[in-house]
Amino acid sequence: MLISTQWLARHVDLEGISPEELASELTLKTAEVEGLERFAEHLDQVVVGHVESRIAHPDADKLAICTVNVGKEEPLQIVCGAPNVDAGQNVAVAQVGTVLPGNFKIKKAKIRGVESRGMICSVRELELGEDHDGIWVLPEGLSAGESVSSALGLVDWVIEIDNKSLTHRPDLWGHRGIAAEVAAIFGRELKPLETSLPATGSGAGVEVSIEDPACTRYMGLCVDNVRVEASPQWLQLLLLAVGQRPLDLLVDISNFVMLDLGQPNHLFDLAELSAGVKVRMAVDGEEITTLDEEVRGLSPQDLLICSGNTPVALAGVMGGGASKVAEGTTSLLLEVASFDATTIRRTATRVGLRTESSARFEKSLDPCLVPKAAAHLVRTLQSIQPEVSLPAPATDVGDWSDPALTVELSGDRVRELLGVDLDDEDIISKLSALGFCIERDGTMMKVAVPSHRATKDITRAEDLVEEVGRLYGYDQIPGKRLIAEVAPPAKDARQLLVRKIQDRLAGGACFSEALCYSFQPDELLERLGVADEPRVRVVNPVAEGESSVRRSVVPSLLGRIELNRRHRDEVRLFEVGKGYLPEHTDERGQPREVHEAGLVLAARRDKSAAYNAGSRSRLQGVIEDLLRALGAYDSAPLTWRVAGEDDSIPGWANPGRSQVLVCGEGEDQRALCFLADLDPGRARPLGLVEELSSDVAAAWISLDVILSLPKASSSYRPLPKFPGAKVDVALALPLDVSCAGAEFELQRSGKGLVASMELFDVYEGTNVASGQRSLAWHLVLEAKDRTLDEGDVQKFLGRVERAAERLGGALRRES
Amino acid sequence: MRERLESLRIDALRRVGEATGVEDLRAVEKDFLGKEGAVAEILGLIPTLAPMERREAGQGANQLKTTLLEAIAAAKAALEEAEVAAQRDAGGFDPTLQAAAAKRGGLHPITQVRRDVESIFTSMGYEILDGPEVELDYYNFQALNIPVDHPSREMQDTFYCDEDHTLVMRTQTSPVQIRAMERMTPPFRVIVPGRVFRNEEQDATHEHTFHQIEGLVVGEGIQVGHLTWTLKRFLNELFGRELEVRLRPGYFPFVEPGFELDVRCPFCETGCRVCSGSTWVEFCGCGLVHPNVLAAGFGEREDVDHEKLTGFAFGFGLDRLVMLRFGIDDIRNLMGGDLRFLEQFPC
Ligand SMILES: [Zn+2]
């Protein structure tokens, strides 16, 4: 909201207060000031000129040659095209070198052969209004050469206040409200304002019927003998300063009262309301053409002002086009009303029309302000058009009550919360300055809250503590050490787990942590073949097709591969995040939250690479390393198996290359991790073909499952006392024997001697029978009680050979 | 015999001198000192010699053996030394060529700054809490003194997850205040880092998804001064120097009185771009916990008398801190998942 200091000065004496100080004190004590600017600063450069003579231009009918005294020895010769320029006038002159708004620099010129040294300005050229029919004629009695701003006393500063910081203060949506704050802050008096209606005639007033309680008070007042004309200069300048375009006196004065007292109001041509006023809800399908000439479709939640049954205004939001005051209007109906804040807010939001009026009504205005605003409007109008009269008493109807209330406050409560040593007298004086009336009752104070502070804002003692505190100055409250029990704060197991995962993946594994949106675009989900999964959806997404709330972080990461592969041969990304499963919603309506780490690894495709150089294999290594570091292997037996139908393989995964790491047995078996190659059919939709062709693997790890594992026991084993024997073993085995199956046989053949086992080669081809593959391990055999010799090794190999043969394969001896 | 020994000695030492590798020395050793070498041959001849000569030949052969062994050892040491020296200065050395580039990985800058914030508060005895991002309207609004028709619930700000608006994408981390009050016993101090959502148009400074840190302290006798002291200590720690803070009025329905806290610009003395020339930077919204919020949070608790309690709460944006620390000019980079961005913050 924009506040003019000139306007403020109508309500409170600002003598001796600089605009900067005013802005800073308002920020510290009332509401955030976002900007401070001089209004029409260019008028400092424009001077008063006295037109000494005017003669016609010899070569142009519409031009005149003027001699203008600008307070210098030599008057200026200026060629002017305005029809209204004449000798004897005071005018605004932009001299050569002056820069007008729009970076328009005045230069010496020759116009149709006649020299011109400056410009006589119109109101529009000075950005003071729309008028461009002629030059701006200044009042008489000004001295030539003085700047226009100082001659007219036009030194106005515009303070911009953050609307958000006024959300709870309906009383601050006009200059008088701000002036009251300024008066309290600087210890000055608020100038009195006449708030009673002038005498009225005894005619019949307008008939008003309220059919819906959303209108709490409606005052209708007939006003006669008005004339539609331009507003006086002072009014136009005030409106211009706060960014309002002056139109005509009636529109301007309606705006003026709203911006002065914060009470919106409306002026109808009385002739258009001959059928009486009815306030009702719209019916389905009804329409109204608003002042801005838009046809608005209405719903039964929108409140209407009607003449008879014909809508003439969208209540509290905007007037209708048909009943607006126009040239020739002589009688008005002045409407000042109170409406339900929520109704107005909803209508304004629904029709997309947030006006100055609706912005105020939705803050819950004080119904007691209604007659005051009506009186202020009529009296201001009469000060300009004294013949204006009121033929009949105001019609004032509605089911409203005075919101004023009394709140009990103890000085101790103030001192306790603010931590400031204020005595009761200080507290009372601060509250009085803000317009509260205090009656003391022992140690308690009974604080009467005036109606304009009572609609939303002040209802309890703490609200008054705020009033005292801000006027005292929050910045004056000293910091105070917080004394508390010294104890280590409780740590959350999940947070510790997240931290370990992040550190391990970002550190040793060299993955980059990404944070992706919680919303996943439908088109990405479709490309990944997971669009059918149930998802929480927002009903008002930021863009069409971005309503899905993720249930897993993996699709988001997969969606980032193409972008990154364009710049990188290898993409390693992870995110630890939350997913939401609407199919598991609790009785309060909250979907189950799951916590997972998602990983993707994408590399250039390389068919010649070693058996374990592929992305999935590398990712598996990263995951196993991570889980080992987390102690998961010590907590429970974890085994990889081929993912099957029960594992709900996501659409992005190659079903033939999907694996699950499970913990627990039978019914209790749970998937701790899912790992798969990207389905080859997804590469093209993801843009990962041709030069971006990628070997992609992705995985998720469930933090919830890890946290549910039993606490790991220590995995320490004493170091062996006797040296072990290193043996390499290569087995040729049928393809359907899994690596884990083979390793199980090796363990069994070792009879407890196999201390470690590391697969180092996988081979199919020459020297291996078809339908078989060769697997080779480095083994270390150890015994607790003796040093193993060659005999032990040979016995072990013998058992391995027999085991391999049982599996349909063979031990491969070195040839 | 003496002549023979002498010629053997000369011959052997010549071959030691000519040796260019350890193999050559091994051959010398074999030819002269091996089982079938020249010295063994001489020793084999000794029984055939005259008794007087036997002694002389024995001594001479042993002396030759000793001499040769020493010469071979010395030559071997010299050769090894030469080999090491040759390895030391292999030539063609270019340190800029070692491009076995280390792989890069790292934590997201949000995570990095979030951890800094967390560790400062943890050191001050704060517990770190978490809460759901898909939240009930009750926690996100109603319990926070934001009833159904409150203007700050405008449709354009909040993402609703169902038509009857019982479920929302949380617009703030504040709902965790209520969740904390429901289960924790005062006095307590907590912070809540997390992502929040507002339905806003995205541009370089606006995101619909961003990160907040909420703080809540509840106990008896908590006052405004405790709030400023706490945030000042935190900011001093975060920026590594003494920074002034100030409170001014601010409106948030869940605090009363409510404040905005400004901190003296950490980047300038007299005004800069960050503080728009004012030397103050808006840091967070805060205030004393509204009695209605205490009542909503503790109301069902028989073990807690919320009327006796007061508290303070604050909430600030993490994204802006991250952008200030690293000089990031576009907030959209944070959630963009672009490695060219992420790899700029190795940690
Ligand atoms: Zn600065």
Residues A122, A94: Cα–Cα separation, whole Å = 11
Q: Which two tokens stand for residue B197?
A: 């959502």
Is the predicted pLDDT of residue A501 greater than 60, yes or no?
Answer: yes
Q: Find chain A residues with C-beta within 8 A of B252's C-beta.
A: none
Residues A240, A152: Cα–Cα separation, whole Å = 15
> A208-210 and A277-281 as β-strands: parallel, antiparallel, unpaired?
parallel
**Residue in B136, B335, B338 closest to A590 by CB:** B136
Determine the average pLDDT of the residues in A437-450.
95
B246 and chain A in contact, CB less than 8 A: yes
Q: Which of A113-122, A341-350, A737-746, B216-225 has the highest mean pLDDT?
A: B216-225
Res A814: pLDDT? 67
B130-169 burial: b if 16+ Cβ within 10 Å, else e? bbbbbbbbbbbbbbbbbeeebbebeeeebbbbeeeeebbb
Examine the domain organization and report whether B180 and B257 are in the same domain: yes
Res. A257 pLDDT band, cuts 50 70 90: very high
Residues A133, A139: Cα–Cα separation, whole Å = 18
Examine the domain organization and report whether B199 and B292 are in the same domain: yes
Examine the domain organization and report whether B118 and B248 are in the same domain: yes
Element holding A56 (H helix, E strand): strand A47-56
Residues B335, A58: Cα–Cα separation, whole Å = 71
Residues A121, A748: Cα–Cα separation, whole Å = 104
Number of residues written out for chain A? 815
- Residues of chain A numbered 753-782 and touching chain B (CB < 8 Å): none
A28 — phi, psi (to 5°)? Answer: -80, -20
Residues A501, A578: Cα–Cα separation, whole Å = 14
**Residue in A417, A540, A580 closest to B288 by CB:** A417
Residue of B nearest to A538 (CA): B161
**CA A43 → CA A100, A127, A135, A450, B105, distances in Å?**
9, 10, 15, 42, 61
Res B100: pLDDT? 63
Give the residue from B28, B54, B89 where a domain finishes: B89
The string of DSSP letters for A585-640 reads E-TTSPEEEEEEEEEEEEEE--TTS-TT-SHHHHHHHHHHHHHHHTTHHHHS-EEE
Q: Is B101 among the domain residues? A: no
Contacts 24+ apart (CB under 8 A), A80-87: A80/A119, A80/A120, A80/A135, A82/A120, A82/A122, A82/A134, A82/A135, A83/A133, A83/A134, A84/A133, A84/A134, A84/A135, A84/A137, A85/A51, A85/A54, A85/A120, A85/A134, A85/A135, A86/A51, A86/A54, A87/A51, A87/A52, A87/A53, A87/A54
Examine the domain organization and report whether B80 and B142 are in the same domain: no
Contact A419 B224 (CB under 8 A): yes
Examine the domain organization and report whether B114 and B201 are in the same domain: yes
Q: Give chain B's domain count.
A: 2
Q: Which two tokens stand for residue A534?
A: 């149930």
Range of the domain at B51: 2-89
Res B101: pLDDT? 64
DSSP A730: E
Give the percent of chain A with pLDDT over 70: 100
Q: Which two tokens stand for residue B102?
A: 């280390």
Q: Which two tokens stand for residue B230?
A: 């706490």
B271 and chain A in contact, CB less than 8 A: no
Give the residue from B36, B59, B89 where a domain finishes: B89
Residues B55, B45: Cα–Cα separation, whole Å = 12
Residues B42, B65: Cα–Cα separation, whole Å = 11
Q: Which two tokens stand for residue A767?
A: 């020297």
Q: Find chain B residues with C-beta within 8 A of A482's C-beta.
A: 217, 222, 226, 229-230
Instruction: Report whether A393 contacts A371 (CB < 8 A).
Output: no
Residue type, B182: E
Q: Is B202 among the domain residues? A: yes
Res. A815 pLDDT band, cuts 50 70 90: very low
Q: Find chain A residues with C-beta within 8 A of B166's C-beta.
A: 589
* Whether residue B257 has a cis bond before it, omega within 30° of 0: yes
Closest CA–CA distance from residue A743 to any residue of chain B (Å): 32
Helices (H), A434-572: 451-454, 461-472, 493-506, 522-527, 554-558, 561-565
Q: Which two tokens stand for residue A742?
A: 């083979």
The string of DSSP letters for B20-33 reads -SHHHHHHHIIIII
Examine the domain organization and report whether B84 and B129 are in the same domain: no
Rg (CA), chain B: 42
The string of DSSP letters for A62-86 reads T-EEEEEE-SSSSPEEEEE--TT--
Examine the domain organization and report whether B204 and B309 are in the same domain: yes
Closest CA–CA distance from residue B96 to any residue of chain A (Å): 22
B224 and chain A in contact, CB less than 8 A: yes
Mean pLDDT per 10-residue section of chain B, whose length is 347 residues: 83 88 87 84 83 83 88 90 81 71 87 97 96 96 90 76 92 97 96 95 92 97 96 95 94 94 92 90 96 96 95 97 93 95 90
Q: Is B96 among the domain residues? A: no
CA of B13 to the centre of ligand 1 (A): 85
The sign of the torsion formed by the CA atoms of B193, B197, B202, B205 equals negative
Instruction: Report whether A177 contacts A262 (CB < 8 A).
Output: yes
Q: Which two tokens stand for residue A216?
A: 């709490």
Examine the domain organization and report whether B82 and B202 are in the same domain: no
Instruction: Report whether A732 contacts A767 (CB < 8 A).
Output: no
Residues A751, A741: Cα–Cα separation, whole Å = 16
Res B155: pLDDT? 55
Examine the domain organization and report whether B269 and B147 are in the same domain: yes
Q: Which two tokens stand for residue A144?
A: 């030539």
Q: Is B103 among the domain residues? A: no
Contact B250 A480 (CB under 8 A): no
The rounded Cα A234 to chain-centroid distance in angstroms is 38
Res. A495 pLDDT band, cuts 50 70 90: very high
Res B21: pLDDT? 85
Is the predicted pLDDT of residue A499 greater than 60, yes or no?
Answer: yes
Instruction: Report whether B325 contacts A499 (CB < 8 A).
Output: no
Residues B147, A389: Cα–Cα separation, whole Å = 45
Residues A76, A117: Cα–Cα separation, whole Å = 6
Instruction: Report whether A648 contacts A531 (CB < 8 A).
Output: no
SS3 content of chain A, % helix, strand, coil (to 5): 30, 30, 40
Residues B71, A277: Cα–Cα separation, whole Å = 129
Examine the domain organization and report whether B258 and B334 are in the same domain: yes
Q: Is B289 among the domain residues? A: yes
- CATH code (residue B242): 3.30.930.10
3-state secondary structure of B136: strand
Examine the domain organization and report whether B167 and B287 are in the same domain: yes
Q: Which two tokens stand for residue A112?
A: 């149709």
Helices (H), A75-210: 148-151, 175-186
A465 and chain B in contact, CB less than 8 A: yes
B332 and chain A in contact, CB less than 8 A: no
**Residue in A30, A488, A536 closest to B161 by CB:** A536
DSSP A503: H
Non-local CB neighbours of A269 within 8 Å, separated by 6+ positions? A323, A324, A325, A326, A329, A331, A332, A333
- pLDDT tens by residue, A146-186: 999 999 888 999 999 999 889 889 999 999 999 999 999 99
ipTM: 0.88
Q: Is B277 among the domain residues? A: yes
Neighbouring CB atoms inside 10 A of B118's CB total 17
More confident residue, A137 or B100: A137
Residues A620, A597: Cα–Cα separation, whole Å = 14
Give the residue from B89, B118, B145 where a domain finishes: B89
- pLDDT tens by residue, B192-239: 999 999 998 889 989 999 999 999 999 999 999 999 999 999 999 999
Q: Is B95 among the domain residues? A: no
**Residue in B132, B135, B310 closest to A417 by CB:** B310
Which residue do the tokens 């029984």 mark? B47
Contact A345 B151 (CB under 8 A): yes
Residues A805, A792: Cα–Cα separation, whole Å = 20
Rg (CA), chain A: 42
- pLDDT tens by residue, A678-703: 999 999 999 999 889 999 999 999 99
Residues B97, B326: Cα–Cα separation, whole Å = 31
Determine the average pLDDT of the residues in A432-441.
95
Residues A47, B5: Cα–Cα separation, whole Å = 129
Examine the domain organization and report whether B194 and B301 are in the same domain: yes
Number of residues written out for chain B? 347
Q: Is B338 among the domain residues? A: yes
Q: Which two tokens stand for residue A18?
A: 């600089």
Which residue do the tokens 């703490």 mark? A462
Contact A538 B334 (CB under 8 A): no
pTM for the model stands at 0.87
Computed over every residue of chain A, the mean pLDDT equals 93
